[in-house]
Each structure stands twice: as C-alpha cells, then as structure tokens.
Amino acid sequence: MNFIYNILNSLPFEFIHYDFMKNALLAVIIITPLFALLGTMAVNNKMAFFSDALGHSAFTGIAIGILLGLGNPVLSMVAFGIFLGLVISRVKSFKTASTDTIISVFSSVSVALGIVILSKNGGFSKYSSYLIGDILIVTPQEILLMFIVLIVVYIVWIKIYNKLLLISINSSLASSRGINCALIENIFVVLLSISVMLSVKWIGILTINSFLILPSAAARNIALNSKQYHFYSLAIGIICGIAGLIISFYADTSAGATMVLTSAVVYFITLMFKKSVRK
C-alpha cells in the first residue's frame, strides 16, 4: 500500500496529497471497471430495474446484520443481496406477472423491511449515510477486498461471457447448444449482488444503479460489437469516475452523485451520435 501511496504522492496534483483521496481514487479505479463490465450485461438483459432493487435491499441486509449482532454488516448485506437476486430470478421464471411488477414488489418490501427494523427505537439517522454513500471513508482493507472481487469477476467473465451473450439473444438457442441457462444467469446475479453490496456504502443506495447502468448505456449508443461495447463502457466508466471524484473534491459535493452526473453528461453526448452510427 505504501508503495502505491508513494507513486500517487509523486503526481503533481493537490488533491492526491490527502490519504483519503488516495484511497478514494484507488477505490474508483477498482470499482469502475468492475461495474462497467457487469453493466454491459445488465443492460443487455434489461436488468436496470433489477439492479436498482438490489441496491435498495441493502437496508434489509444491514438490518439483518444488526439483528444478528454482527459488528460489520457487510456479510449479511452480501448474503441478503445474493438471496434476493436469486429469488427474483426464480419468481421471474414462473412468468406469472410482468417482470417489472415482480421486481417492484420485492424492491419495496426489502426497503420497507430494512427501514422498519433500523428505525426501531428511533435509530435510523445513523444509517441514512448509506443513501448517498461516502467513498472518502474507504479503508485499505476494503480496497484490497474489492480488488480480489474485481479479479474474480474478470476470471468468471472470461468463462461465461459468450454463454451469457447467447442467452440474452435467444435462450432456446442457448439451451439447444447444451448451455444451462438458469445456472449461467444465476452466476451473473451472484456476481452482481456481491459487487453492488460491497460498494453500496461508498456510492450510495440512491445512485449505485446509475453507476452500474450509465457507462454501458452510453457505450451501447456508439458500439457496434461486443468488443467495442466493453471497451467504451470501461473507458467511460473509469474516466467519468476519476473526473467525478476530482470535481467533487474541488466543488465539495458528494463523490458518488458527482460521478453519476459526469457519466450522465457522457451518456447524453453519445445519444446525439447514436443516429449517425446506426444507419
């Protein structure tokens, strides 16, 4: 860690001389490529609303952690996120109601349940920081954990991407090729749940979904194939993340929300180019 700090110290920027900014920058450099990757498939599969519900369920995850007496609620958040993600996928496959209705039900229930438990005895205010998140409080241990998650997600992505892509285009065709669609989709849901839950404290429950969706949504406006899609999404995610962090430092605003706004600007710019790319 000291080695990385020294490198950052040698950079000629004022903001980088604070340790919390060094940590925040490292965190951004790790989670933006993570989310850029997962976002491509979340958008392909029309899961924007799904990941939104996932972020919102963080409250229940925290509440369960407190009920169980865990010092750090991260474990219960991740566990609940995975549980909720898999349950929504399963209920969705029954095709009894439209997907957005199902997700909406689960989303509001998990938000309400979390708030009810956390607000008991009037203690909710200390959890409200989760709503907008704070990337400046990230610790070196958390950065290391995120880095490990990043590596794992990239390795799994190499293994399952082609299958996920085929499923997103036509699941019958994927089945006929011997692909276990439910298994592959569940692996994706688990990766998404872990990533969202581990970073929600930094980015904020209200903005984490845009963090996931915007870079990919912008990338698909201008990309013509899978490789471009990933490359643009990564580039937009990382550049907007770092730019947003620096802007938030000087403007003294919430880092998560500023990064989302930066990506939104890029999204609207790519939207203008969309027509000229697609004949």
Round to whole Å and give the CA distance between 254 and 9.
23
Name the segment binding another protein (CB under 8 A); options: 13-21, 79-87, 224-232, 261-269.
Answer: 224-232
Q: Closest separation between CB of residue 94 and another protein, Å?
A: 8
Round to whole Å and give the CA distance between 229 and 247.
26
Q: Closest separation between CB of residue 269 and another protein, Å?
A: 17
Q: Is 112 helix (H, G, I), strand (E, B) or coil?
A: helix
H helix runs in the chain, sequence order: 2-9, 19-44, 48-56, 58-67, 74-94, 99-119, 129-132, 140-169, 171-176, 181-203, 208-222, 226-251, 255-277
Structure tokens at 189: 């849901």
Structure tokens at 249: 């430092």
Q: Is 134 helix (H, G, I), strand (E, B) or coil?
A: coil
**What separation in angstroms does the CA of 194 have from each of 32, 83, 84?**
15, 11, 12
DSSP class of 137: G
Q: Which residues of 48-64 are buried (b: 16+ CB within 10 A; e: fewer)?
A: bbbbbbbbbbbbbbbbb
Q: Is 105 helix (H, G, I), strand (E, B) or coil?
A: helix
Tell me whether residue 171 or residue 186 sits nearer to another protein (CB atom).
171
Q: Closest separation between CB of residue 276 and another protein, Å?
A: 14
Nearest to 200 by CA among 270, 110, 122: 110
Residues 144-183 contacting another protein, CB under 8 A: 157-159, 161-163, 165-166, 168-173, 175-178, 181
Exactly one of 153, 223, 259, 260 binds another protein (CB under 8 A); which one? 223
Tell me whether residue 41 or residue 203 sits nearer to another protein (CB atom).
41
Q: Closest separation between CB of residue 161 and another protein, Å?
A: 4
Residues 3-62 contacting another protein, CB under 8 A: 40, 44, 46
Tell me whether residue 168 or residue 209 sits nearer to another protein (CB atom).
168
Tally of CB atoms within 10 A around 15: 15
Nearest to 78 by CA among 194, 189, 188: 194
Residues 193-222 contacting another protein, CB under 8 A: 219-220
Tell me whether residue 78 or residue 219 sits nearer to another protein (CB atom).
219
> Which residue in this structure is represented by tokens 């959890």?
127
Tell me whether residue 6 or residue 172 sits nearer to another protein (CB atom).
172
Residues 106-145 contacting another protein, CB under 8 A: none
How many residues in the shown chain lie near another protein by CB under 8 A? 35
Residues 63-102 contacting another protein, CB under 8 A: 94
Tell me whether residue 78 or residue 192 sits nearer to another protein (CB atom).
192
E strand or H helix at 13: none
Site string for another protein, 228-257 (x = CB under 8 A): xxx---------------------------
Tell me whether residue 3 or residue 94 sits nearer to another protein (CB atom).
94
Residues in contact with another protein by CB under 8 A are 40, 44, 46, 94, 157-159, 161-163, 165-166, 168-173, 175-178, 181, 219-220, 223-230, 278-279
